[in-house]
Chain A
Amino acid sequence: QQPVQSPQAVILREGEDAVINCSSSKALYSVHWYRQKHGEAPVFLMILLKGGEQKGHEKISASFNEKKQQSSLYLTASQLSYSGTYFCGTGDGGNKLVFGAGTILRVKS
């Protein structure tokens, strides 16, 4: 079952904050976040594991609510370089991930 990402697209000005959500109907063991720039491969941002701590990476952090099977990616003080498509991938503890449809983020100057 593909996780649902929201919003589908968001436009920000530099310095503004954004939240991208990822929701699954299945019990999750892990949530993975990636950013993909146009024409390039997805780049791994972070992973959140069941029972683990909230992760952070520079001004990008994420949370994982295991009971609600939801994860959120927080981008604070956005920069032009944050533009791209963000994907969440969900895992049940096995070898596979199922990816959401993606959230397009555009940061304007």
Chain B
Amino acid sequence: SQTIHQWPATLVQPVGSPLSLECTVEGTSNPNLYWYRQAAGRGLQLLFYSVGIGQISSEVPQNLSASRPQDRQFILSSKKLLLSDSGFYLCAWSRTYEQYFGPGTRLTVT
């Protein structure tokens, strides 16, 4: 069966510091991968998605970037965090139409 991992689970970072969140999927090959952000009490905002290694589509202009160095690895990065980057970051995968979410990373920028 397929499993999706995200780490870290929680993170507190100061404004202006860098960020790296990692997501890995097991049990499938060539999945579509997604990064979403959820602000407190809000819905799910798609940030990036990838249909293959090195292929990244950005949905929202911001100070975040994504990379997919391996088939089942998806990384979300920032060079300098803003207060507005705080939120719950969710990685998801799909092979057909259903998307399955990882456990998420709760980021607080102070």
CB distance from A46 to the nearest CB of B (A): 9
Query: A residues within 8 A CB of B94?
Result: 95
A95 to B52, CA, bound (A): 12
Which one, B42, B44, B49, B59, contacts A42 given CB within 8 A? Answer: B44
Task: Report the nearest B residue to A104, measured CB to CB.
Answer: B41
B98, A47: Cβ atoms under 8 Å? yes
Query: A residues within 8 A CB of B59?
Result: 96
Residues of B contacting A: mostly: loop
Does B7 belong to the interface (CB within 8 Å)? no
Interface residues on A, range: 20 to 34
Q: Mark A75-97, 1 if CB is under 8 A from B, else 0.
A: 00000000000010101000111
Given contacts A41-B90, A42-B90, contact A32 B43 (CB under 8 A): no
Query: B residues within 8 A CB of A99?
Result: 43-44
Given contacts A41-B102, A102-B43, contact A47 B90 (CB under 8 A): no
CB distance from A85 to the nearest CB of B (A): 9
B99, A87: Cβ atoms under 8 Å? no
Query: A residues within 8 A CB of B102?
Result: 41
28 CB-based A-B contacts, threshold 8 Å = A2-B43, A30-B97, A32-B98, A40-B104, A41-B90, A41-B103, A41-B104, A42-B90, A42-B101, A43-B101, A44-B98, A44-B99, A44-B100, A47-B98, A49-B97, A91-B97, A95-B32, A96-B49, A96-B59, A97-B99, A98-B46, A99-B43, A99-B44, A100-B43, A101-B42, A101-B43, A102-B42, A102-B43
